[in-house]
Amino acid sequence: MSNSRTTFLFFTGKGGVGKTSLACATAVEMADSGKIVLLVSTDPASNLKDVLESDVDETINPVKGINNLFAVNINPENAAEEYRNRVTQPLEGVASKAEINKIREDLSGACTTEIASFDEFSRFVSGETEGGKFDVVIFDTAPTGHTLRLLELPAAWSSFTDENPDGASCLGPTSALKSGKERYHNVVERLRDASLTTFYIVSRADKASLKEASRTSHEIMELGMTNQRLYINGVFKTIDSTDLLAKKIEDLANEQLSSIPENLKQLEFKTFPLLPYNILGINKLRSLFKLKLQETISQKEIDTKKDSKQILESISELTNDLCANQAHGLIMTMGKGGVGKTLAASAIAVLLAKKGHEVLLTTTDPAAHIQDFIDQLGELPSTLTIERIDPKVETQVYMDKILEQKGKGLDEEGKKLILEDLKSPCTEEVAVFHAFSKAISMAKRKFVVMDTAPTGHTLLLLDTAGSYHRDIMRNNINAGRLRTPYMALQDPLLSKIILVSLPETTPMREAGSLQEDLQRAGIKPYAWLINQSLSMLDGISDPILKSRAHAEIEVINTIKNKYAQRTYGIPFIAEKRLLPALIESQKVISLSAVS
């Protein structure tokens, strides 16, 4: 690693795969080799301070305990807020307060945050400021292909984007960007230069994570950013061969590694083991690239860890609570990718149907993972109906409508920008929301379980823009009797939001951020569901798994005490046929409860 010839290293991957640990470990390894290194994070839930055990803020400072390493944390929320202020400040006294609030909410999505962050860290790549005095600049969290494509468009620098009341907008008035068009062009060209930039795509040895890594690799490869490496983190190797769970986990990981997506097979890759300790502090970061040090720390951690057991109510008990006082309602599983929300939605729907309730299970998951789970079951309860809303179809319909409305009189570059702007995640959520509004209305007669729900930003965008809720309320003389989909989601008696997380720090923080987002929209989650918990299991003897189970306790207690009103859990299941295994395990729980 220390022989890397590129100046800029980008670490990208979905939440919880360990990209921060690997970015920090790489920075430490290169600093130890004598290079002057700057580590830059743009993660909104950044834990650089915890991982490095050194103060990290929005000013470049040396990292404690090591020479040659400096770190800075670009807070994307602060960057986005500054961006929104620059957009709306000229409108003070010209536009109404309601209009300004609408513009601010339009610019509250993930795309705006990412572009504002990119605006901030582009200076480190351009070499115009502090970035020029470092041998290597390492970025924890790379920009998405959507952001990079958008910033390349010449029309993105025109003024017509100032007003876009009906479409999902993520860029807004470009005059608010501090960096100029020329700088962005230079930055993107540097990212394409294989002699200057390397992209490290970080994944776990599981299907969902590898699929996301495959998509990311393909997306940035299409943009001409071809210098890529694959890091597969957390690969488990059993120590105690008598532990059947440990053996199953190892076998499943090996199976996934032998069948990784084709485009990832073309990349140079390296695997990193699942360790019995959290990677915190300079010495433990060094251990990721130093095998002997890794073995020494591992043995010490294993020798000092004691058994730990966490008692969480099961998904069966969650289902009982959901139907305790009613026979209908809307249940949504929400969470970041890879945490298990599709499994949770499928299990809740099946368990409700087995109780005799009429249940509609619907998904907006573009990968249609629900069908994969349902196919594992064979025979389904007669009261269970399954539907799928195709996000691509719904989004295309929505995009065609907006392009027809907003594209009149524009040249090809203007239309190109609208199309690119409409490729944002916000657009798909808005389009899909319109489609499953019909399913929401069914929740008054039966249970409707939805996988992949809209974020709080999307709900507020719909509400403040008047694209659905306010238009109905304003134009209908019987508005007082109407209940729009947005109002239905705000009704805690009708709608129950289940936040799904893993018992790990990063997924917990991401779910906590999602909860805050929902609360801005007036929606309070009903419960948290913690998936893949080792600490819920008895009989673990493998030292690494015991240590990992012990590490979960602090995270679960934080969820209980800081975030969740109610907390439930799904134990770690080392089976390919996850849904049948989970449903079967609930029978065992029910029998033990009766006895």
Neighbours of 128 (CB within 10 A): 13
Spacing of C-alpha 230 from chain mean position: 19
Which is catalytic among the residues 362, 495, 506, 567? 506
Which is catalytic among the residues 7, 21, 333, 458? 21
Please classify residue 182 by burial: count the beta carbons closer than 10 Å to its beta carbon, then call 0-12 exposed, 13-18 middle and 19+ buried: exposed
Asked if 16 is an active-site residue, the reply is: yes
Asked if 338 is an active-site residue, the reply is: no
Which uninterrupted H or E stretch holds 106?
helix 97-106
CA distances to 12, 476, 530 from 546, in Å: 29, 60, 18
Q: Is-contact 7 497, C-beta < 8 A?
A: no
Neighbours of 81 (CB within 10 A): 16
Q: Give me the count of residues in the chain.
A: 595
Asked if 19 is an active-site residue, the reply is: yes
- Report how far residue 97's alpha carbon sits from residue 99's, in angstroms, rounded to the nearest whole number: 5
Which is catalytic among the residues 13, 15, 18, 109? 18
Secondary structure (3-state) at 287: helix
Which is catalytic among the residues 19, 207, 284, 423? 19
Asked if 375 is an active-site residue, the reply is: no
Which is catalytic among the residues 7, 12, 20, 54? 20
Asked if 20 is an active-site residue, the reply is: yes
Which is catalytic among the residues 32, 43, 140, 421? 43
C-alpha torsion sign, points 280, 285, 288, 290: negative
Q: Is-contact 363 342, C-beta < 8 A?
A: yes
Asked if 203 is an active-site residue, the reply is: no
CB within 8 Å of 451: residues ≥ 6 apart: 333, 341, 342, 345, 346, 361, 362, 363, 364, 365, 370
Amino acid at 102: K
CA distances to 173, 332, 390, 481 from 478, in Å: 38, 29, 32, 6
Asked if 18 is an active-site residue, the reply is: yes
User: At CA 233, angle to CA 232 and CA 238, rounded to 5?
Assistant: 110
Q: Is-contact 137 124, C-beta < 8 A?
A: yes
Which is catalytic among the residues 7, 13, 14, 16? 16
Known catalytic residues?
A: 16, 18-21, 43, 506
